[in-house]
Homo-oligomer: A and B are copies of this chain.
Amino acid sequence: MLRTVSIICLIAISVGAYSQTDAEIFKKIYQTSLANGKSYDWLNHLSNQIGSRLSGSLGAERAVTYTKEELDKLGLDKVWLQPVMVPKWVRGAKEYAYIETVPGKTNTINICALGGSVPTPSLGLKAKVVEVSSFEALKALGKEKIAGNIVFFNRPMQPDLINTFEAYSGAVNQRSQGAFEASKYGAIGVIVRSLTLRMDDFPHTGNITYNDLPIDKRIPAAAISTNDAEVLSTMLRLDSNIKLYFKLNCKQLSDVQSYNVIGEITGSQFPNEYMVVGGHLDSWDLGDGSHDDGAGVVQSMEVLRLLKTLGIKPKRSIRVVLFMNEENGVRGGIKYADEAKQNNENHVFALESDSGGFTPRGFNFECNEANFNQVLSWQSLFKPYLIHFFEKGHTGTDIGPLKSSTPVLAGLVPDSQRYFDYHHASNDTFDAINKRELEIGAATMTALVYMFDKYGVK
């Protein structure tokens, strides 16, 4: 039955919380980004000339130099490097693993060390495998069943959620905490099903934490591809005595000097009010980090370039911050927030792009109701560009440390369907980037920055 209830209601609507000029500026921003954008060229260089950029690596160092040089060319008011000490973890020689059904009969599988893992013994490690889907299941098995074995965490990301980041959140503790949890019960190693919704052959890395475990209690942890996770699981159902061999050659070295790269257009009216837009310059080492987070880096640079190119003179100081070390330490984000506090800088707004260079759908916000309602009053400006999503939610890891002192945090929300196909894997490469999707993202970020600069935060 069609239950149409027509009600007469009194609604106070904010209309005209923007002007016709704003609509024209939006149009110019999108047109310029799409027809004469720079983000794709920058990303091409970052991905194909420099490549992966794990903290402390030569790639990271070259990315600092390159992006500073490119910012220098934009005619900003200031460009500088902010020193920050970062951890240096190296993968070493490529990992190797196989399943052994009977001695001598082996199936090679696709494996990679998880970031921060200790290595296996130099001859590798071979043991029986205990498959679990949760820490509760691990606990229920206890030391008796776990000690001396390899724990295999195989809980898939939930496929029926629309937001793939939600599915990731529901599975990521296996990767981040799995080694720590399994070590409690005497496991000698941990294997994790890769965090992707696709069935394929790519192992996906990502950071782990041992919390305060003493070095000698730390056990090696690695990811295997989703296809191999299915194979291993099936083989274990047929024969629980099969063994897994794996060898990791990774190493944690001493911290090294690195940098956040920062550029600023100084505000014409309120130079002491700072607005930040950024992404992270480091990446994992397997692909070239095009989506994570080369895209966010070049989009953030493009925001300032578009403002300059279009002759928009912001009232507030707009900074692009290319954060170092998001992936395994967030040292850059913490450093930036610490220095801002020491210098009594008044940060009013920060926007991060770190969810891939896919078609933008909108933004998440961490802010009060007044600012959120202000954004909602701008919705119709964004609608012609198919930007419909404005919600409260997680914004960004690098800008997180600014939260306590910054009234508005925002995170670009691109379409999330393909993100985990590439996340932390060797196929996160430039060919997976669509030029237009990247450029529309940059324009969308610029439009939001423009509005908050013009109308201020509440």
Is the CB of A415 closer than 8 A to any CB of chain B? Answer: yes
Q: How far is the CB of A236 from chain B (nearest CB, A)?
A: 23
Is the CB of A14 closer than 8 A to any CB of chain B? Answer: yes
Q: How far is the CB of A8 from chain B (nearest CB, A)?
A: 6
Q: How far is the CB of A81 from chain B (nearest CB, A)?
A: 34
Is the CB of A137 closer than 8 A to any CB of chain B? Answer: no
The closest CB in chain B to the CB of A27 belongs to B160
The closest CB in chain B to the CB of A32 belongs to B160
Do the beta carbons of A10 and B10 come within 8 Å of each other?
Answer: yes
Is the CB of A215 closer than 8 A to any CB of chain B? Answer: no
Do the beta carbons of B17 and A2 come within 8 Å of each other?
Answer: yes
Residues on B with C-beta less than 8 A from A361 are 386
Assess A159 versus B7: contact at CB under 8 Å? Given A359-B415, A437-B418.
no
Do the beta carbons of B455 and A440 come within 8 Å of each other?
Answer: no
Do the beta carbons of B16 and A3 come within 8 Å of each other?
Answer: yes
Q: How far is the CB of A91 from chain B (nearest CB, A)?
A: 28
In the complex the two chains form, what is the Cα distance from A385 to B12 in whole Å?
Answer: 28
| CB-contact partner of A35 in B13, B159, B388, under 8 A | B159
Q: How far is the CB of A359 from chain B (nearest CB, A)?
A: 5
Do the beta carbons of B15 and A5 come within 8 Å of each other?
Answer: yes
Residues on B with C-beta less than 8 A from A160 are 30-32, 34-35
Do the beta carbons of B30 and A162 come within 8 Å of each other?
Answer: yes
Is the CB of A68 closer than 8 A to any CB of chain B? Answer: no
In the complex the two chains form, what is the Cα distance from A7 to B11 in whole Å?
Answer: 8
Do the beta carbons of B11 and A4 come within 8 Å of each other?
Answer: no
Residues on B with C-beta less than 8 A from A13 are 6-7, 9
Do the beta carbons of B4 and A377 come within 8 Å of each other?
Answer: yes
In the complex the two chains form, what is the Cα distance from A6 to B15 in whole Å?
Answer: 7
Residues on B with C-beta less than 8 A from A162 are 30, 384-386, 440
Q: Indicate with 1 or 0, residue by residue over A234-271, a CB within 8 angstroms of chain B CB atoms.
A: 00000000000000000000000000000000000000
The closest CB in chain B to the CB of A10 belongs to B8
Do the beta carbons of B8 and A12 come within 8 Å of each other?
Answer: yes
Residues on B with C-beta less than 8 A from A388 are 386, 388-389
Within 8 A of B (CB), among A122-161: 159-161
Q: How far is the CB of A420 from chain B (nearest CB, A)?
A: 10
Do the beta carbons of A16 and B34 come within 8 Å of each other?
Answer: no
Do the beta carbons of A9 and B11 come within 8 Å of each other?
Answer: yes
In the complex the two chains form, what is the Cα distance from A46 to B37 in whole Å?
Answer: 38
In the complex the two chains form, what is the Cα distance from A9 to B15 in whole Å?
Answer: 11
| CB-contact partner of A418 in B7, B35, B159, B434, under 8 A | B434
In the complex the two chains form, what is the Cα distance from A12 to B8 in whole Å?
Answer: 5
Is the CB of A184 closer than 8 A to any CB of chain B? Answer: no
Residues on B with C-beta less than 8 A from A415 are 359, 386, 415
Residues on B with C-beta less than 8 A from A159 are 34-35, 436
Within 8 A of B (CB), among A31-57: 31-32, 34-35
| CB-contact partner of A4 in B14, B32, B435, under 8 A | B14
Q: Which residues in A have some Cβ–Cβ distance to B below 8 Å?
A: 2-19, 30-32, 34-35, 159-162, 164, 197-198, 359, 361, 377, 384-386, 388-389, 415, 417-418, 421, 434-437, 440, 455-456
